[in-house]
Amino acid sequence: MRQIALYGKGGIGKSTTSANLSAAFSEKNLSVMQIGCDPKHDSTRMLMHGRWIPTVLEQMYEKKDIKEEDIIFEGFGGVRCVEAGGPEPGIGCAGRGIIATFQLLEKMQALFGDVVVYDVLGDVVCGGFALPMRDGYAEEVYLVTSGELMSLYAANNISKAVARLGGRSTAKCKLGGVICNAKNMDNEYELVKEFAERIGSKLICYIPRSKSVQAAEVNRMTVLEHDPASEQADVYRSCADAILANDDFRIPTPLSLEELEDLARKYL
Amino acid sequence: MQENISEKRLGGCALGGTLAVTAFIRDGITVIHAPQGCAHQMFSGFHAMMADAGLSRIPKVIVSNIQNREAIFGGEEALAEALDRAEEDSPALISVVTSCVPETIGDDTEGVCAAHPASERIVYIPASGFLGGSSQAGENTALIRLAALAEPKEPIPRTAALIGEKNLESEVEENYAEVCRLLNRLGIKVILRFCRNIEAAEIVRLGEAAFFIIRDERVEEAGITIANRFGRPYVSAFPSGLSGSISFLQEAGKACGIPEEEIAEAVFAEEEYQREQLAPFAELAGTSVALGFEPFAGCHAVAREAMERIGISESADGMPVKLPFYLPVGAAGVLKMLYLWRREKRR
């Protein structure tokens, strides 16, 4: 089983990328599970044709005896979709919610399949959101970033968490690579590629900005379902292939803020 | 070398210290905003200490029972429900005490208290469990927060309020009696024991006291904060030992604005009293004792002063004697200690 976690700045397109990758994996007849680890609980929405599925934490809040069918829902391509969910903004502890979600999925023995994709909140704000990297869950972390400085900053920050957790003797999690979800900036490919290399990793794929993504989303679908013959669908398929073929996992070497800023300046 | 027992070292969680204050408001209820386990552990130990101190009363305590659900989604609703349950009993005061969990997850405990229909009778005490520091810190926080219920009034001459008595020590009433005996020499009356078996309505009397007497350095922070707030003088500790009783009279008299001649008369009378009280222990004169371990700083000094007055010597191979766990309060504390030594000698 391949367990893959996608981390990156909020709004960078992790959920879109995750959902399209899950769809691409499923096209290869792989058994796929996607777990949204964000209180926004919108990770699997395109796989579920716009449906907001009940979250694990909602069910925990309301029910004492939770069954698989209460929290795992089949979406496009047979992808098993789960949303951890979380508290309302400004109250409680979402990180604790992620931990409780994983404990429940573990207890139910629901974490199985050929590929499990963890789509995690924008930043590793606390130990709870680092859980997918620990305890034998995700073994590969992919940083999703554009060429924007703040996006690279977040990716660099997350790489610190990977370095800290991946460096432990009990760790299984390492950095698989960087996915560039482009904003179509000048020199964006070169910038993100060099960033990936400077942190000791590699650019695993470059996803250009495309109207087909927006078109699929307004129709509440992944690109692979909405426009399977499009170039963008092929981009996601290639990205999925690159991830499946990837066996080069590393402990990253995060950049200092000055190094990061110098790098961004270089490609202006 | 073994150190004295510092109360700061008895810490670890502020909940216990807070409860040691709020549980002694007779007509009040304490709502502990915490997981049930925290409240249970803390209350078990607390109740055992109360029983050890000869107190059979079981204070009213309600726990909000934070569980996994509350840790994730916030415990404000559970607190509101606990406040409703507390209110069913129509208490005069509801003290809301927090553990570390609601403070960690960011519950707006103060907001929930303020929004409750009984808000005027609710006091939020951010004990914060381990985040709040020690039991000592919890006690100080509780005293400061509860003191906010009182407003400054015209001070009543020759009155005092005691701050932060050790509610769980077995000699608390004896110590109180000794303090009253000394204050009586100056015509000073204690109008409030804050908080020792009081009713919530009595707390307002803090504002009427001409001066405050702080139990000891343990509650110094609260004592000074309260004294500053009301703009009144304070005496920093209960009297310890024989000469400590004399200086206590002098300090209390001065704090209360009593004429010097009157204070001198009180001191003279007390010195005479101490001589009379020590006389029956003359049979200990010439005895050599081994003081051994000093439980709290100052115990040795108090004991040695009494030994010098009577003519007791100290040596490592002398008769082993037991020192009081806390500093002996006033002459009464010293006499109790000597009584035990005399009994040991007669054996």
Q: What is the CATH number of domain A2-266?
A: 3.40.50.300
The CATH T-level fold of domain B156-252 is Rossmann fold (3.40.50)
Measured CA to CA in angstroms, residue A113 lies from A32, A75, A134, A198, B9 at distances of 6, 15, 19, 34, 53
Which residue of chain B comes nearest to A63, CA vs CA? Answer: B69
- For residue B118, pLDDT beyond 80: yes
In the prediction, which pLDDT does B9 show?
Answer: 54
* Overall average pLDDT of the B239-243 stretch: 96
Residue of A18, A30, A85, A80 whose CA lies nearest to A57? A85
Host H or E run for residue A217: helix A211-218
| More confidently predicted of B326 and B238 | B238
Interior CA angle at A12 toward A216 and A181, to 5°?
75
**Is B106 an interface residue toward A (CB < 8 Å)?**
yes
Is A107 noted as a catalytic residue in this protein? no
Residues A9 and A123: their CA atoms lie apart, in Å, by 6
Which of the following CATH numbers is that of domain B11-147: 3.40.190.10, 3.90.1200.10, 3.40.390.30, 3.40.50.1980? Answer: 3.40.50.1980
Judged against a pLDDT cut of 70, whether residue B3 lies above it is answered with no
Do residue B69 and residue A86 have CB atoms under 8 angstroms apart? no
**Contact at 8 Å (CB) between B258 and B158?**
yes
Q: What percent of chain B has pLDDT over 70?
A: 97
Q: pLDDT tens, position by position, for chain A (268 residues)?
A: 999 999 999 899 999 999 999 999 999 999 999 999 988 899 999 999 999 999 999 998 887 789 999 999 999 999 999 999 998 888 888 888 888 899 899 889 999 999 999 999 867 667 888 888 877 788 999 999 999 999 999 999 999 989 988 877 777 889 999 999 999 999 999 999 999 999 999 999 999 999 999 999 999 999 999 999 999 999 999 999 999 999 999 999 999 999 999 999 999 8
Q: Give tens-digit pLDDT for B16-61.
A: 999 999 999 999 999 999 999 999 988 888 888 888 888 888 899 9
Say how many C-beta atoms besides its own lie within 10 A of residue B9's C-beta: 11
Output b/e per residue, A137-161; b: 16+ Cβ within 10 A: bbbbbbbbbbbbeebbbbbbbbbeb
Q: Edge-to-edge strands of the sheet including B313-314?
A: B313-314, B288-290, B319-320
pLDDT above 50: residue B1: no
Where do the CATH 3.40.50.1980 domains begin and end in chain B? 11-147, 156-252
Length of chain A: 268
Report which of A198, A103, A231, A207 is spatially closest to residue A145, judged by C-alpha positions: A207
Torsion of CA B198, B204, B205, B207, to 10 degrees: 140
C-alpha separations of B56 from B39, B51, B53, B61, B171 in Å: 19, 6, 9, 15, 15
Q: What amino acid occupies position B259?
A: P
Residues of chain B contacting residue A61, judged by C-beta atoms under 8 Å apart: 69, 73
Q: What residues contact A262, with CB distance under 8 A and at least 6 apart?
A: none
The one catalytic residue in A42, A123, A234, A241 is A123
Size of interface A-B (CB pairs under 8 A): 40
At A32 the three-state DSSP class reads strand
Q: Inform me whether the C-beta atom of residue B104 falls under 8 Å from chain A C-beta atoms.
A: yes
Pick the more confident residue, B69 or B145: B145
Helix (H/G/I), strand (E/B), else coil: A230: coil
Burial of A62 (0-12, 13-18, 19+ CB in 10 A): exposed
Q: Based on the number of CB atoms within 10 Å of its own CB, is B317 exposed (0-12), middle (13-18) or buried (19 or more)?
A: exposed
Question: What per-residue string of b and e applies to A81-114 under the rule 16 or more CB within 10 Å gives b?
Answer: bbbbbbbeeebbbbbbbbbbbbebbeeeebbebe
- For residue B169 the two structure tokens come to 């020590």
Residues paired with A5 in a beta bridge:
A118, A141
The vertex-B257 CA angle with B251 and B263, nearest 5°, equals: 55
- Is A266 known to be catalytic? no
Instruction: Residue A91: list chain B partners with CB under 8 A.
Output: 73-74, 76, 106-107
| Strand arrangement, sheet containing B189-194 | B189-194, B156-163, B209-214, B234-235
Q: Write out chain B residues lying below 8 Å of A88, CB-based.
A: 73-74
Look at A92 and B70 and tell me if their CB atoms are within 8 Å: yes
Residue B133: band (very low, low, confident or very high) from pLDDT cuts 50, 70, 90: confident
The half-sphere exposure of A218 on its side-chain side, counting CA atoms within 13 A, is 4
Contacts B72 to A, Cβ<8 Å:
57, 60, 86-87, 92-94, 96-97, 100
Q: Which of B69, B75, B105 sits opposite A60 (nearest CB)?
A: B69
**Above 60 in pLDDT, residue B10?**
no
Average pLDDT value over all residues in chain B: 93
B111 and chain A in contact, CB less than 8 A = no
**What pLDDT is stored for residue B2 in this prediction?**
46
Does A14 qualify as catalytic in the annotation? yes
Q: Chain B contact for A141, CB < 8 A? A: no
Q: What is the pLDDT of residues B312-345, one digit of tens each?
A: 999 999 999 989 888 999 999 999 999 999 999 9
Gap between the terminal Cα atoms of chain B: 31
The proportion of chain B whose per-residue pLDDT surpasses 90, expressed as a percent, equals 83
pLDDT value, residue A68: 92
Give strand pairing partners of B31.
B62, B96
Quote the pLDDT of residue A251: 94
For B265-312, the pLDDT digits (tens) are 999 999 999 999 999 999 999 999 999 888 888 999 999 999 999 999
Sign of CA dihedral A226, A229, A235, A239: positive
pLDDT at B8 over 60: no
Chain A partners within 8 Å of B69 (Cβ): 60-61
d(CA B119, CA B142): 17
**Secondary structure class of A30 (helix, strand, coil):** coil
A61 touches chain B (CB under 8 A): yes
Distance from C-alpha of B222 to C-alpha of B224, rounded to nearest angstrom: 6
A96 in contact with chain B, both atoms CB, cutoff 8 A: yes
